[in-house]
């Protein structure tokens, strides 16, 4: 795969397939791993960081998972490309802050990505569409096992996998689901649920991870604790919590549909009208409107557009993706204009309602 092919495709996790994909957009597993012979990235010399990159390159090429994968050095990308990788959920914001001696490996359909020299030497991510935590964990586990045959990871028999920050020690595992909860937000129940989640050792964040707002009614829900519970236990408890959230969202959707039908249709029609005719639109505003359209499609109030196109739009309207399409840097206002035009075109050709 080339960089151009990457930008041209839709990541697997946006395909809108998989179980309960109307509410759970994607499931993600992240494993933090470090090589025993080097200091952690922030404490390592330039030479050691390069050693980590080349050890990892040697190891991943011996596995079966990365045929046709793309291995990128972050310092060789321009600023728009770096931002695009973040928008595609392939790397973190922290990974581009100091791009020297950092890299990322991306599998062909963007299901697997491995950041090299982020906070830990390796951050293995597996990202799948729909509510699919167990399969996602199984794949991450296999990749970990294959890499481990050629890399010696920092571990202790008491504390498990040793990580740069003690908050990740033990399993090094972060499991998360991206949930679309418009009806819970509409019925003002989302806050209560997020509070309850945090009491159970889980946390909720926005669409783009740590420190971001829940734009477009998307919530990323993940485990906090990594030590003292097995990987299966962690995945199981997140799965159980997500099942309850799905049930609550469905109940709220049914209630809104049954009791406030006209109000709901009004919001959907207005959202559609804005998306079709706005001349300036920010990404937050667009996400919030698209979220309502998505709900309309899920509830069968609207016939189209399909979920695949809507999911892809969530990424295509992000600032760097827009700038790549235009082939130049744009100011915030220029982006809002380009975004409005792009969205309006998409919606005006779709047969809707």
Partner 1 sequence: MICQVCGKNEATVEFTEIIDDEVKQLHLCDGCAKEKGIEMEQHFSISDLLAGISGLDDKPSGEEPPLKCGKCGMTYTDFQKIGRLGCGECYDAFKKNLLPLLKRIHGSTRHIGKSPKEIDETDGKKKISEAQELRQQLQRAIDMEEFEEAARLRDRIRALEKKAKDKP
| Interface pick for partner 1 out of 169, 315, 337, 352 (rule CB under 8 A) | 169
SS (H, E, C) 227-239: CCCCHHHHHHHHH
| Interface pick for partner 1 out of 50, 81, 135, 141 (rule CB under 8 A) | 141
In terms of CB distance, is 40 or 56 closer to partner 1? 40
Q: Is 45 in the site for partner 1 (CB under 8 A)?
A: no
In terms of CB distance, is 2 or 331 closer to partner 1? 331
Distances (CA, A) of 339 to 85, 127, 235, 311, 319: 19, 27, 37, 15, 9
Q: Which of residues 147-166 bind partner 1 (CB under 8 A)?
A: 148, 152-162, 164-166
Hey, CA dihedral for 316, 321, 327, 329, is it positive or negative? positive
Residue 25 CA to its chain's centroid (Å) = 9
222: three-class secondary structure by DSSP: strand
What's 45's DSSP letter?
-
305: three-class secondary structure by DSSP: coil
Torsion, CA 282, CA 288, CA 289, CA 290, rounded to 10:
100
Q: Which of 178, 176, 177, 181 is nearest to 247 (CA)?
A: 181
CB of 106 to partner 1, least distance (A): 24
Q: Which of residues 88-127 bind partner 1 (CB under 8 A)?
A: 119
Assigned token pair, 77: 């990308």
Q: Which of residues 59-78 bind partner 1 (CB under 8 A)?
A: none
Q: Which of residues 321-340 bind partner 1 (CB under 8 A)?
A: 332-333
Q: Is 306 in the site for partner 1 (CB under 8 A)?
A: no
Site track for partner 1 across 193-212, x = CB under 8 A: -----------------xxx
| Interface pick for partner 1 out of 283, 311, 318, 323 (rule CB under 8 A) | 283
Q: Which residues bind partner 1 (CB under 8 A)?
A: 34, 36, 38-40, 42-43, 119, 141, 144-145, 148, 152-162, 164-167, 169-171, 173, 210-213, 225-233, 282-285, 332-333
């Amino acid at each position: 795969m080339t960089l151009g092919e990457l930008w041209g495709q839709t990541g697997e996790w946006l395909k809108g397939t998989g179980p309960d994909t109307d509410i759970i957009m994607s499931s993600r597993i992240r494993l933090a791993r470090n090589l025993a012979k080097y200091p952690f990235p922030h404490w390592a010399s330039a030479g050691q960081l390069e050693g980590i990159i080349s050890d990892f390159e040697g190891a991943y090429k011996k596995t079966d998972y990365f045929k046709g994968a793309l291995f990128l050095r972050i310092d060789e990308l321009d600023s728009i490309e770096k931002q695009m990788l973040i928008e595609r959920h392939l790397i973190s914001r922290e990974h581009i802050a100091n791009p020297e001696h950092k890299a990322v490996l991306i599998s062909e359909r963007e299901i697997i990505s491995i950041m090299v020299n982020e906070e830990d030497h390796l951050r293995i991510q597996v990202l799948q569409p729909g509510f699919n935590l167990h399969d996602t964990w199984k794949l991450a586990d296999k990749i970990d096992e294959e890499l481990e045959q050629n890399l010696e990871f920092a571990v202790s028999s008491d504390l498990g996998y040793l990580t740069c920050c003690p908050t990740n020690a033990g399993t090094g595992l972060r499991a998360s689901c991206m949930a679309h909860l418009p009806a819970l937000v509409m019925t003002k129940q989302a806050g209560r649920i997020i509070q309850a989640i945090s009491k159970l050792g889980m946390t909720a964040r926005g669409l783009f991870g740590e420190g971001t707002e829940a734009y477009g009614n998307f919530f990323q829900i993940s485990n906090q604790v990594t030590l003292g519970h097995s990987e299966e236990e962690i995945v199981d408890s997140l799965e159980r919590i997500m099942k309850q959230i799905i049930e609550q969202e469905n109940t709220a959707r049914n209630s809104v549909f049954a009791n406030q039908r006209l109000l709901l249709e009004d919001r959907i029609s207005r959202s559609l009208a804005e998306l079709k005719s706005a001349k300036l639109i920010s990404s937050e505003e667009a996400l919030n409107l698209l979220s309502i359209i998505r709900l309309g499609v899920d509830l069968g109030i609207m016939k189209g557009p399909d979920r695949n196109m809507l999911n892809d739009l969530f990424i295509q309207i992000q600032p760097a993706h827009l700038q790549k399409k235009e082939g130049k840097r744009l100011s915030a206002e220029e982006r809002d204009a380009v975004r409005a035009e792009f969205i309006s075109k998409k919606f005006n050709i779709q047969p809707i309602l």
